[in-house]
């Protein structure tokens, strides 16, 4: 045990030295130098008696192997005398087949096993609908907090706050905030009766929670799924901190940022995604002050900490079952298919080309049911819906389901060219910065002029996004090699999420004519690879992008 505790202390010292405050890159390595190793031994006798430690995670996205390390860290800190509170800041229900296979239930089961105490909602908790979410949460052994999500009646959907009283008598007030982007980043068809405070309303809710908690709390912690991305303003955790008074610490998620403080020293921490880090906030019970804020790299923890055997076994059982179901190789790729966030949300990618080619092919080969000529059929999908890279080599069903984890179906939306142009303009408002609505396309060649500012018009209904006041940035060069016509009717093949106004695609939702084929998008991609590409994604076909999108 002494050796084990020494390793934990060593790990924490590495973090304290390697990450003194500002955000760091998620892929930055922490080096175990001989000098640091010499210092590790001095920490063997230290303990956390008289301390309360908040361990925090966010955006786990189905990386269920990591829960065994969280449980081990919690148990070790408790053995060192700390009272430990384990919290999560959302997006645990979606992101890999291991949790999407049963609509997020596996995530809840793993969090129960790891010993979570409090969690909040991420936007992806709503992916399977409100009824499924509540069904999952009934199995949760942890408290669920959310202060800014309401029924249409205005009643809070979930408990907004909780005061945790430690054994030493320290009172820690927690409240939860969900990103208003969930209105369109979850399927809008499932969100119609849900209201969310945003911008000034969100600041007001946050301040109300602080004021309520301050009377009975020594420390106030905001658990947020807001993020710090510029595209999310004015609903970021930075906006919350700068427009309220009295928040001692914000533990954040959504933007997958690795940080222990904001750019101007704001007390905001976030652990990246998929257990890149485990966050650790140390509170002194006597002074009732936060005295440390660390990030534990799980890459180091995995070599220094023995994962909890029970939790690891539970994760392994799920992984084995899913891999058996979907692990069969059905094709090969000669090239890496780019599924990175910075790529699919900023520019054309070869994987975006592949997915949209499959969508266009599936609908274009239909003998009946499409009311326009084939040269008027195009495909558009949101770059944020492409979630993983496929490395060169074998391709399994699990790979495709990880790339496209949401269970979306192929939908056809009929619209005038002017509405298609509006959708492209609205969905590239942030370019060259990342935006989940960025349009990956087939059958369309278009140009984005980033030198021109996006002219913001009216806010789309029940959304955080705005219609373009004028079309200034996007020009459609051609449709299937033919001139683009603003007045022509086009059949836009998309996914059912975008069809009902997901992300930036409110223009699609205004279509008076659309139909959902019911065919899963991941099945369409598998069928395209096997039937059209002959089971091989070749260098010739997708070694480079198809020059469909020009950014200048």
Pair of tokens at residue 508: 């699609």
345 Cβ contact list (under 8 Å, min separation 6): 383, 384, 434, 435, 436, 438
What is the per-residue pLDDT for 303? 67
327-551 carries CATH number 3.90.780.10? yes
What is the per-residue pLDDT for 46? 54
SS3 for 41-55 is: HHHCCCCCCCEEEEE
Taking the mean position of all CA atoms in its chain, how far away is CA 471?
30
pTM of the complete model:
0.82
Match 């199995």 to its residue by tokens.
Answer: 139
Pairing of strands 258-259, 268-271: antiparallel
194 Cβ contact list (under 8 Å, min separation 6): 126, 130, 149, 150, 151, 152, 157, 183
* β-pair partners for 399: none
What is the per-residue pLDDT for 301? 64
- CA 445-447-453 angle, to 5 degrees, is 150
- How far is it between the farthest Cα atoms of the chain? 77
Measured distance CA(178)–CA(180) in Å, rounded: 6
What is the per-residue pLDDT for 365? 87
Helix, strand or coil for residue 166? coil
Backbone angles phi, psi at 192, to 5 degrees: -60, -35
Whole-number Cα distances in Å, 296 to 338, 413, 453: 28, 47, 40
Domains 2-320 and 327-551 equal at CATH topology level: no
Taking the mean position of all CA atoms in its chain, how far away is CA 134?
20
What is the per-residue pLDDT for 17? 33
What is the per-residue pLDDT for 28? 40
Pair of tokens at residue 101: 């296979």
Pair of tokens at residue 228: 């710090």
Count each helix (H run) and each strand (E run) in the chain, helices first. 19, 27
What is the per-residue pLDDT for 152? 84
What is the per-residue pLDDT for 428? 97
Query: Can you state the angle between helices 2-18 and 67-79, rounded to 10 degrees?
Result: 110
Choose the CATH number for 2-320 among 3.20.20.140, 3.90.980.10, 3.60.21.10, 3.40.50.720.
3.60.21.10
The full set of domain ranges for the chain reads 2-320, 327-551
Q: Which of 134, 117, 104, 139 is nearest to 405 (CA)?
A: 104
Q: What is the pLDDT along the chain (552 residues), one digit of tens a residue?
A: 334 343 444 444 444 333 333 233 333 444 444 443 333 333 333 588 999 999 999 999 999 999 999 999 999 899 999 999 999 999 999 989 999 899 999 999 999 999 999 999 999 999 888 889 999 999 999 999 999 999 988 899 999 999 999 999 999 999 999 999 998 888 787 777 889 999 999 999 999 999 999 989 999 999 999 999 988 999 999 999 999 999 999 999 999 999 999 999 999 999 999 999 999 999 999 999 999 898 888 877 666 678 999 999 999 999 999 999 999 999 999 999 999 999 999 999 999 999 999 999 999 987 667 899 999 999 999 999 999 999 999 999 999 999 999 989 999 999 999 999 999 999 999 999 999 999 999 999 999 999 999 999 999 998 999 999 999 999 999 999 999 999 999 999 999 999 999 999 999 999 989 999 989 999 999 999 999 999 999 999 999 999 999 999
DSSP string of 336-354?
Answer: -B---HHHHTTS--HHHHH
428 in Cβ contact with 436 (< 8 Å)? no
Measured distance CA(328)–CA(409) in Å, rounded: 23
């Amino acid at each position: 045990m002494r050796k084990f505790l020494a390793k934990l202390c060593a790990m924490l010292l590495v973090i304290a030295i390697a990450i003194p405050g500002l955000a760091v890159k998620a892929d930055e390595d922490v080096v175990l130098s001989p000098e640091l190793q010499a210092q590790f031994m001095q920490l063997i006798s230290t303990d956390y008696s008289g301390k309360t430690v908040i361990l925090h995670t966010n955006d786990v996205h189905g990386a269920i192997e990591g829960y065994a390390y969280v449980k081990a860290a919690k148990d070790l800190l408790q053995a060192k005398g700390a009272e430990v509170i384990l919290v999560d800041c959302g997006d645990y229900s979606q992101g890999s087949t291991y949790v999407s296979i049963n609509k997020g239930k596996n995530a809840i089961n793993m969090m129960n096993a790891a010993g979570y105490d409090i969690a909040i909602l991420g936007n992806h908790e709503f992916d399977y609908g409100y009824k499924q979410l509540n069904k999952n949460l009934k199995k949760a052994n942890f408290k669920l907090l959310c202060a800014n999500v309401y029924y249409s009646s205005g009643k809070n959907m979930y408990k907004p706050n909780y005061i945790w009283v430690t054994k030493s008598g320290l009172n820690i007030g927690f409240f939860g905030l969900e990103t208003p982007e969930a209105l369109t980043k979850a399927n809008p068809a499932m969100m119609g009766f849900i209201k969310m405070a945003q911008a000034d309303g969100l600041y007001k809710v946050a301040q109300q929670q602080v004021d309520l908690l301050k009377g009975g709390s020594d420390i106030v912690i905001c658990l947020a799924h807001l993020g710090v991305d510029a595209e999310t303003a004015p609903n970021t955790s930075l906006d919350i901190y700068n427009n309220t008074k009295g928040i001692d610490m914000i533990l954040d998620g959504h933007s997958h940022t690795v940080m222990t403080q904001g750019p101007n020293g704001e007390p905001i921490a976030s652990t990246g995604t998929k257990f890149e880090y485990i966050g650790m906030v140390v509170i002194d019970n006597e002074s009732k002050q936060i005295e440390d804020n660390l990030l534990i790299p799980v890459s180091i923890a995995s070599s220094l900490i023995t994962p909890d055997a029970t939790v690891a076994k539970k994760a392994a059982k799920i992984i084995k079952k899913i891999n058996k179901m979907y692990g069969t190789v059905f094709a090969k790729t000669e090239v890496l298919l780019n599924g990175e966030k910075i790529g699919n949300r900023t520019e054309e990618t070869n994987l975006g080309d592949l997915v949209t080619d499959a969508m266009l092919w599936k609908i274009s080969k239909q003998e009946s049911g499409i009311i326009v000529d084939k040269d008027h059929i195009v495909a558009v999908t949101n770059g944020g819906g492409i979630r993983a890279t496929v490395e060169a080599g074998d391709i399994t069903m699990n790979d495709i389901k990880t790339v496209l984890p949401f269970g979306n179906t192929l939908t056809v939306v009929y619209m005038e060219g002017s509405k298609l142009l509006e959708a492209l303009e609205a969905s590239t408002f942030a370019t060259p910065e990342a935006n989940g609505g960025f349009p990956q396309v087939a059958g369309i060649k278009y140009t984005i002029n980033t030198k021109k500012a996006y002219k913001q018009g009216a806010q789309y209904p029940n959304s955080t996004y705005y219609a373009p006041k004028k079309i200034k940035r996007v020009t459609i060069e051609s449709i299937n090699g033919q001139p683009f016509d603003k007045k022509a009717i086009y059949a836009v093949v998309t996914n059912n999420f975008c069809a009902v106004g997901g992300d930036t695609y409110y223009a699609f939702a205004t279509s008076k004519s659309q139909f959902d084929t019911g065919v899963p998008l991941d099945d369409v991609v598998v069928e395209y690879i096997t039937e059209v590409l002959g089971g091989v994604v070749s260098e010739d076909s997708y070694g480079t992008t198809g020059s469909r999108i020009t950014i200048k």
